[in-house]
Amino acid sequence: MWLALALSTVLARPAVVLKPVANMYSKPDALAGVVSQAIYGTPVRILEEKPGWAKVETPDEYTGWMLAPSLREFRDGEPGYAAAGRVAQVESLFANLYREPDATRHEPVLTVPFETRLEVTAEPQAEDGRWIGVRLADGQLAWVARGDVSFETARLAPAGLPAFSRRFLGLPYLWGGVSTFGFDCSGFVQMLYRRAGVLLPRDAQPQADWSGLAPVERSRLAPGDLVYFGESDRKIVHTGIYLGGGEFISATVHRHPMVSIGRLDDPHWAALFVAARRLK
């Protein structure tokens, strides 16, 4: 077993995601279950290949099968995408990328979600400097509105996450979703905690079990804490972030499939509440 794992690590090859959001499947079959996603520009490692498919590992060590055209593999010695130099990160919920610095002449080349990282090639200062030139992961050049991106992402304390999380209210729920095109519950929480500089495990149960979090009593919940729901603390199926005043925010299918605010004393959630966690 150790030899197989070591060999897999040696043979793993770097690649980058080319689609705005690429599904990761449990098997190399488009009818198989979606286990997660990766957004545009995400660096991945190719662990295995089958015709038309690649098994990949994302930076959070999650694995799944992705359609091969969703990826660009890097040659030996070739630097990864947006790994160095001037990099802009999308701060709007979505950003349209255009072939020229103009939003009215042609349709977007690409529409990418929040958190997408882009290699910067030009920062014109002429006129009002509203546009930034970028190189895409396939080498194509494009332009993005300066107002859609940031060069310095502010890190938040967990207590600041409740206010930040409200930006995403109303976005759709999507099983396996990790982006503003659609989140599932653990993907939403993972994204929010990244803003605090913390990389949580991908799924709700591993999050609740993670050594970087400590149990907290329900009576001592504070804004920014994590709340977990399920049949028991060993069968957790849902998570969200506590807002205060008995409220929490999560991506849920309860009542409406979207990012929404619930109450811990709602009979539905009260019956399922099993645990709470706080960053150590």
Q: Over the stretch 236-278, which tens digit does the pLDDT of each residue have?
A: 999 999 999 999 999 999 999 999 999 999 999 999 999 999 9
The Cα–Cα gap between 95 and 41 comes to: 14
Question: Six-digit token pair at 110?
Answer: 């690409």
- C-alpha 177/C-alpha 72 separation (Å) is 21
Confidence at 128, pLDDT banded by 50, 70, 90? low
CATH number for domain 87-150, candidates 2.60.40.10, 3.30.70.100, 1.10.10.10, 2.30.30.40:
2.30.30.40
Percent of the chain having pLDDT more than 70? Answer: 95
* CATH code given to domain 2-73: 2.30.30.40
Domain ranges of the chain: 2-73, 87-150, 158-279
**CA–CA separation, 274 vs 210, rounded Å?**
16
Residue 76, pLDDT score: 83
Reading the block at residue 160, the tokens are 């600041």
Is the domain 158-279 a CATH 3.90.1200.10 member?
no
d(CA 185, CA 171): 12
Q: Is the pLDDT of residue 92 over 70?
A: yes
pLDDT reading at 188 higher than 60: yes
Same fold, 2-73 and 158-279: no
Q: Are 114 and 93 in contact (CB under 8 A)?
A: yes
Mean pLDDT across 57-65: 97
Instruction: Report the range of poorest mean pLDDT among 2-11, 28-37, 216-225.
Output: 2-11
* pLDDT of amino acid 12: 87
**What's the confidence (pLDDT) of residue 78?**
86
Q: Is the pLDDT of residue 123 over 60?
A: yes
Residue 160: pLDDT over 50: yes
| Confidence category of residue 127, pLDDT binned at 50, 70, 90 | low
Mean pLDDT of the 81-103 span: 96
**pTM: predicted TM-score of the whole model, two decimal places:** 0.93
The pLDDT of residue 135: 98
Mean pLDDT of the chain: 94
Q: Where does the pLDDT of residue 116 fall: very low under 50, low under 70, confident under 90, or very high at 90 and above?
A: very high
| Residue-level pLDDT at 88 | 97
Residue 7 reports pLDDT greater than 50: no
Q: Residue 126's pLDDT is what?
A: 59
